[in-house]
Structures are given as C-alpha cells and as structure tokens.
Amino acid sequence: MRQLKRFNCAEDCPVFDGLFNFCQIYTGGSVGGAVRLNHKQTDTVVNWAGGLHHAKKNEASGFCYVNDIVLAILELLKVHQRVLYIDIDIHHGDGVEEAFYTTDRVMTVSFHKFGEYFPGTGHLQDIGQHKGKHYSVNVPLKDGIDDESYNMLFKPVMAKVMEMYAPDAVVFQSGADSLTGDRLGCFNLSIRGHAECLKYMMTFNVPLLVLGGGGYTIRNVARCWTYETGCLLGHELDDKMPVNDYSEYYGPTHTLQISPSNMENQNTPEYLEGVRNRILENLSKIAPKPSVPFHDVPPDAITQEAQEVKEDPDAKGGGAEAEASRRAHHSELEPGEGDRDDRPSRQDHDTRDMNTVTTYEPGSHKFEDAIKDEEDASDVDAIAELGDAAAAGDPGEDADAKVKTTNCDELVLDRDYADGGLGRDDSDELDRAPSVLPGIILNDHDGQ
C-alpha cells in the first residue's frame, strides 16, 4: 500500500486488472501516430484513446497513468524542430507543461478552468522559465463560458502563436469535458463550438496529431469525437442519428448535436479582453523562427533499398545462397592476375630438389664432397631432433632439471656455417648443446 501511495495509485488512479495493457494500447497509439507523421506517411493522425495529460514522470494523476502526449511529442522532436501543444480540456494540462517548461522547442497552450479546480495550476503568469520563458501559454477561464466567448479568445491567440512560433507539427488534445452538461465540467460549449477550434487549426496545413482526453458524460463524448472525426475527414455529418443497437443511450432526442444550457457565463468581455491582451503581449516577446534560404535537401546517407538484407545476416559469408552462388562462378574463387604471387616458395625448392638426382663418378672429388655433405646433413637432423626432445622435457623430472628456453634469434646457424661442414669432431661438441638449449634452427634465407 505504501508503494501505491508513493506513485499516487491509490485514490483517483486506482489499480485494476489489465492496467498495463491499457497503458500500452493508448500510449502506443499516440507514439505510433507520431512516427507516421515523422515519416510523412500522413498529415493527420487521430487517437481518441490518448490525451492523458495529467500523468507525471514519477506518478499517476487525475485518472492518467502514463503521459502519452509527452512521449508522442518527444518522438516528434526527433524530426521536427518545433512542436506546438494545444489543450482544450477543461482541466489544465499540467503534466505536459511541466515536462517542457524550460525548453523553447515545445510551446504549450492550455485553455482551462482556473481557480478552486483540479489540478490548481495554469495561472496566467505561468509563462515558462529559462529558455522556455514565454513558451508556456495559459488561458485561465471561469465557469459557464460559451461558444462565442471561447472562440473570441481561441482564434486570436492561436493566430499569434502560429505567426510567432511557426511550429513544424501540432499536437491537439481535444478533451470533451469542456462540453455543456459534463458531469465534472462547468463550461457551456456545444459540440460545434468545441469542434470549431479543431477546424481552425486545420486551416494552417501543419502535420496534426489529434488526441482524446477527459469527458465524463459518455454519450456526449461519443457525439463530440464522432462529429470531429467527420470534420477531420471533410464530411459534415447529419444531425439525425441512424437507428442502431445503442440508440437508447442517445434518447430522447437521438441527435448528434446537443444544446447549451442556460448557465451563467462568468467570463465578462472585460475579463476576456484583459486575458487576451496579456497573452498577445507575452507572445510578441518571443523570438520569431529564424528564416532559412531555399536549398536542395541532400539525399539520405543510406537508402532504404540498401538497408534491406536479402541474405542471412547471421551466416558467415552471407549465408548458403551466397556460398552456392560463389561455387557456381568458379572465376570468383580464382585469384586475378594482380593477385598471383609468382615468387617460388620454400616448398617449391624442396620439391624441386627431391625430384632432381645428380650422379658423380666414384672416386672423384665431387663424389667425396657429396658424401661429406650428406653426412653433415644427417648430423644436423640428429641435433635438431635431440633439441626438440629436450624442449618437450620429461614430466617426471624435477623443475630445476627442465630445459631452459631461449629466443630462437640468438641461436641461428646460417647457411655459411652449415655449408662449412660439420665434421664428426664438431658433432660431439654440438651433441652437448641440447642439454641446455631447445635446439638449433637452420636459416635458409641466404645469410640474412
């Protein structure tokens, strides 16, 4: 229970079965929509399940567990230089504002009820800090605001924002609890007045991510988002609802639109004018987006075709198909003319010497020299074999009796020394060498 209270999952954000799956679905929809906008696969994405703007980095809040809006904006910032967030939910979008309060890459604009009302933030003077100063715009409203008063603020403020900030993408939170008759709301907007804000933002032709949000009179939430989906598609839906299995929920009128109530509008023209002038003054202080001269966009460093792997990437050499292709073309296995090494190897010399037989007349000087050379070679082979045996050592011998090793470069018998002849007297002296040395290596590199 202590852990639940630590993350505020006890009162207004209770834990229920399938909570994690629920968060995955609505958050994945918002992030996936941002990815589609980044790749220019579409110009408008809708996720009515998203828009949970109260959640913080380390706690749930206001029926919001994961702030999908923040994650979607972070995804958009990978491609877009500036992102604009608009919130027309009756509650202040505190979670999103807090996440981007000190940056100028995201501007947050929230139209909300301010006063003794959840979450209690969103004062007119909350304009951001550090680099984000003047990039947080709060429009505090009072009870009973109607369509005319709402649009009297919304359109001039958003026109100035688009002029000064010039965002590359827009995230629009379309909370339906600002409609008239909402169980937790206190505004008096009609569905057409609510949708007029979305229609106005569509006129700027900027990539648009539309999300849901609050709304606690379910039948009116369904009406609102159905009508606004038609607006996004460019279709004006009929007011008369067709007969269906859920018609009883929309009685007794069975119409798409709802009529505002007669509640008092506490937002006087003087109050609205003062709020608007103050906001426009703050927006005039931000630096306009820097202009960039026209230039050709450079091509991608790696084309999509080059990234496609046809062969098995885990198989060495490209897989079985590549190996079969190389075997089918034997020319690829043979070295080219520039790759061949025409110099004779040591093995070629040995083979040529074995295949060459020279005979001498018995009793001649050459015959005697040949016999002498053969004896010398036999002595050298015997010494080398004894040296190898000494290097291997006997496992049963004591450690002090083992043969010491040395660098072979210090014990090299060059060709001149070997050709000089090793007589039987010399061999006796060399027979003692293996007791302290690993062996003798003959150097056949022409005395180098």
350 contacts 356 by C-beta, under 8 angstroms: no
Instruction: Quote the tokens at residue 106.
Output: 């995201």
The gap between the terminal CA atoms of the chain, to the nearest Å, is 84
* CA angle, residues 406, 409, 414, in degrees to nearest 5: 125
With the C-alpha atoms ordered 379, 380, 384, 385, is the resulting torsion angle positive or negative? negative
Please say if 54 is a catalytic residue: yes
Which residues fall within 8 angstroms of residue 184, CB to CB, at 6 or more apart? 90, 177, 214, 216
Closest CA to 134 of 114, 104, 97: 104
Q: What type of residue is 398?
A: D
Q: Provide the pairing of β-strand 83-87 with 169-173.
A: parallel
* Token pair belonging to 357: 């037989």
CB 142 within 8 A of CB 113: yes
Could you tell me which residues are beta bridge partners of residue 171?
85, 209
Residues 66 and 154 sit within 8 Å (Cβ to Cβ): no
CA distance 64 to 14: 10
Please tell me the distance from the alpha carbon of residue 120 to that of residue 94, in angstroms, as a whole number: 9
DSSP classification of residue 177: G
What would the two tokens of residue 81 be?
């230089």
Location of structure tokens 């949000």: 213
Compute the half-sphere exposure of residue 302: CA atoms within 13 Å on the CB side of its CA: 4
Cβ pair 21, 66 in contact under 8 A: no
Q: Which two tokens stand for residue 22?
A: 């629920």
- The alpha-carbon radius of gyration of the chain (Å, integer) is 44
Among the options 54, 92, 112, 134, which is catalytic? 54
For residue 41, what are its two tokens?
């696969």
What are the helix (H) ranges across 309-410? 320-328, 330-333, 346-355, 365-392
Residues that are catalytic: 54
